[in-house]
Amino acid sequence: MRKFLFTIFCLLISHVLSAEELKSPNGDLILTFQLNNNGVPAYSLQYKGKTVIETSTMGFMINSSISFNEHFVITSIKFDHSNEIWQPVWGQQKEIRDKHNEMIVTLNQTSANRQLNIRFRLFNDGLGFRYEFPIQKDLRHFTIKEETTEFKLTGDHKAFWIPADYDTNEFPITTSKISDIAGLIDNVRREPLAATSPSSNLAIQTPLMLKSKDGLYINIHEAALIDFPAMSLNVDDKNFCLSAHLTPDKNGNKGYIQTGSVSPWRTIIVSDDARDILASNLILNLNAPCSFDDTSWIKPTKYIGVWWEYFTGGGSTWAYSNNQDIIIGKTDYSKIEPNGHHGANTAHVKEYIDFAAQNGFDAVLVEGWNEGWEDNSAYVKENVYSFTKAYPDFDVKQLQQYAAAKGIKIIMHHETTSSVISYERQLEDAFRFMADNGYSAVKTGYVGPIIPRSEYHDGQWMVNHYLYVARVAAKHKIMVDSHEAVRPTGLCRTYPNWIAQESARGTEFESFNGNAPDHTTILPFTRLMGGPMDYTPGIFQGDLSVYGSNKAKLSTTLVKQLALYVTMYSPLQMAADLPENYKRFSDAFQFIKDVAVDWDNTYVLEAEPGDYITIARKAKGKNEWYIGGITDENAREALIDLSFLPKDKKYTATIYADGKDADWKNNPQSYTIRTMVVTSRTKLKQKLATSGGVAISIK
């Protein structure tokens, strides 16, 4: 017996003191896991012999003050690996390889008999790890007070960051050293609703892009955010240590957990080549496979919309009237005087449907079709909108027939102004109404503070809500494009009907002068790491003063707007400008008409966060390629190597380029279009204007 106990003791000690290693399939990455002297779980990460993450602690504080992050012993360590290819329903590639090595560590807090497992997956492009809370005798339910996961960096890296905020990610992106964040963060924190942001903390959001002085690109985010609050990162700028900052509810709790569940994956993508960050599928690979058997109803979509006219300052309104006394369900709109500027009226929507049909679009988004917009900016009432009652001048049946006859879908709009309880009550009816009337996609919106008031946009309760909407939508074969929702974490693999999200500053901010020239050179490295963005590019008339009151100017050239269809990946792409502007520049518009929205393959040709991106993609099932190149405020020459083309074949390339005299401030609409014969040996050199671009179609 004594010998047996001694053996157990030695086994435990050896586990405590020895470090366990896991290597990536190609050996470039090494993960080390260990328990330090106090039984605190910790990990570190190396890439090609360089430290990416120094020894960093893991775990939680739970209930009022129980440490679920120390006094552990290791009870088992198991290894596994995978090398599989799967086909996404839509995506940047038709096939994705999931090749990783896995280590599962089982930990026990012996005195309290609490068990915690940590699962590590190491890919050639990075690390994912998650906490697993197994079903156990002495722990059934608990509340997370704090997650104590650290990401200890090796130095004062360059960071591309937005401030933490429990309710929004619609910030300009700041580029600075970590040590400069503290001095800059107050300039970019949100004023009006600042009370809902973690203002006392020095904290930033994920996906976070970092670059070290010795040339490592590091991206920190999370994958498969389900039934858990979203994670921001506290910044300790003395020790360059980032740590998990979970979104609380207003009781200060950071997650209500029932054992038998898992946390989202914490992800660290790393390379010495920025292009690998954009090419990474690590976050998708860490999400569960598609949960639907039939996906035939999920279709990548190119659309136009009754939308930009609400932002130009041209007078069009979402609301039907100026009446402030409307009560949804009680007011008879046919007795209300219209304001005369209502955008979503039948005749006007028909014009959009005509334009969509003439130009090969799939769909028309119509905002402002439903009762309730008179109260849109109140943010105080619970019952603001009906999602089944159209305004009297929007003829649902007639428009449905008109659109169907022309092969066009109408995209439904559900702005909730975050009256979420009221939305959930109407959800089944709303989706049935859509299905009955031939709608197959909805754009949802969560502007303003959440009702119930105790919840934040990025807290566990709302995280569950967004997924609930996607699941109920799937029952009705409806695709979802959510705006103002929590930023994505690759869930579109499991729920591919959640086809796109906003969750960052999109084109709408251009109408308030909100996006800097480098914005779209950073977004693919940050926001888009979690999934496609409904960025809504394609604005040709960038000087909005032509419409009257709005003095805003877009921060890009016209050609850069074209290039965004390729550099900003999304299976849902809008041509956001007014049809009249596309008619004026019909030759440039041809690129938007041609460009694909679903791909067999993607080739990241050039990339540096904050500076430039050049990407080529092969259209799904077609011998057509599209290339987009963009630059920040600096003009540059893109080097476009076409060696991805099949060998020994000739193709015609149509090159949409900034004019010689183009620049985003004074001459954004100067462009040239030329064609040339190209082969896989062609290497194009192409000048991009300041905040300019290049767009190429190859057939």
Decide: 177 and 157 in contact? Cβ < 8 Å. yes
Q: 262 contacts which partner out of Ca ion, ligand NOJ, none, CB within 5 to 8 A by kind?
A: none
Q: 367 contacts which partner out of Ca ion, ligand NOJ, none, CB within 5 to 8 A by kind?
A: ligand NOJ
From residue 693, how far is each of 226, 521, 647, 678 by CA, in Å? 38, 11, 27, 20
Q: 374 contacts which partner out of Ca ion, ligand NOJ, none, CB within 5 to 8 A by kind?
A: none
Provide, rounded to whole angstroms, the least separation between the CB of residue 318 and ligand NOJ: 7
Residue number with CB closer to ligand NOJ (167 or 276): 167
Counts of helices then strands in the chain (DSSP H, E): 12, 37
Asked about 508 being catalytic, the answer comes back as: yes
Angle ∠(272,532,213) on CA atoms, nearest 5: 20
CA distance 121 to 204: 25
CA distance 666 to 557: 9
Angle ∠(581,587,589) on CA atoms, nearest 5: 50
Q: Which residue is nearest to ligand NOJ (CB)?
A: 415
CA distance 528 to 88: 17
Provide, rounded to whole angstroms, the least separation between the CB of residue 647 and ligand NOJ: 44
Q: Which residue is nearest to Ca ion (CB)?
A: 483
Q: 375 contacts which partner out of Ca ion, ligand NOJ, none, CB within 5 to 8 A by kind?
A: none
Residue number with CB closer to Ca ion (171 or 431): 171
Residue number with CB closer to ligand NOJ (266 or 483): 483
Provide, rounded to whole angstroms, the least separation between the CB of residue 510 and Ca ion: 12
Residue number with CB closer to ligand NOJ (67 or 503): 503
Contacting residues toward ligand NOJ, per CB under 6 A: 307, 367, 415, 445, 447, 483, 502, 508
Provide, rounded to whole angstroms, the least separation between the CB of residue 535 and Ca ion: 11
CB contact burial 349-369 (16+ within 10 A = b; e otherwise): bbebbebbbebebbbbbbbbb
For residues 477-506, which are near Ca ion according to CB under 5 A? 483
Provide, rounded to whole angstroms, the least separation between the CB of residue 607 and Ca ion: 26
Decide: 642 and 694 in contact? Cβ < 8 Å. no
Provide, rounded to whole angstroms, the least separation between the CB of residue 536 and ligand NOJ: 7
Residue number with CB closer to Ca ion (415 or 600): 415
Q: 276 contacts which partner out of ligand NOJ, Ca ion, none, CB within 5 to 8 A by kind?
A: none
Beta carbons within 8 Å of 548's beta carbon, 6+ residues apart: 313, 314, 315
Amino acid at 609: P
Site for Ca ion (CB under 5 A): how many residues?
1
Provide, rounded to whole angstroms, the least separation between the CB of residue 89 and ligand NOJ: 24
Residue number with CB closer to Ca ion (124 or 444): 444
- Do strands 671-678 and 625-631 pair parallel, antiparallel, or not at all (unpaired)? unpaired
Q: 510 contacts which partner out of Ca ion, ligand NOJ, none, CB within 5 to 8 A by kind?
A: none
Alpha helices, H only, 568-625: 579-584, 586-594
Decide: 559 and 658 in contact? Cβ < 8 Å. yes
Set 150, 415, 508, 606: catalytic member = 508
Q: 527 contacts which partner out of ligand NOJ, Ca ion, none, CB within 5 to 8 A by kind?
A: none
CA distance 255 to 62: 9
For residues 187-226, which are near Ca ion according to CB under 5 A? none
Decide: 176 and 189 in contact? Cβ < 8 Å. no
Residue number with CB closer to ligand NOJ (300 or 368): 368
Contacting positions for Ca ion (CB under 5 A): 483
Active-site residue set: 508
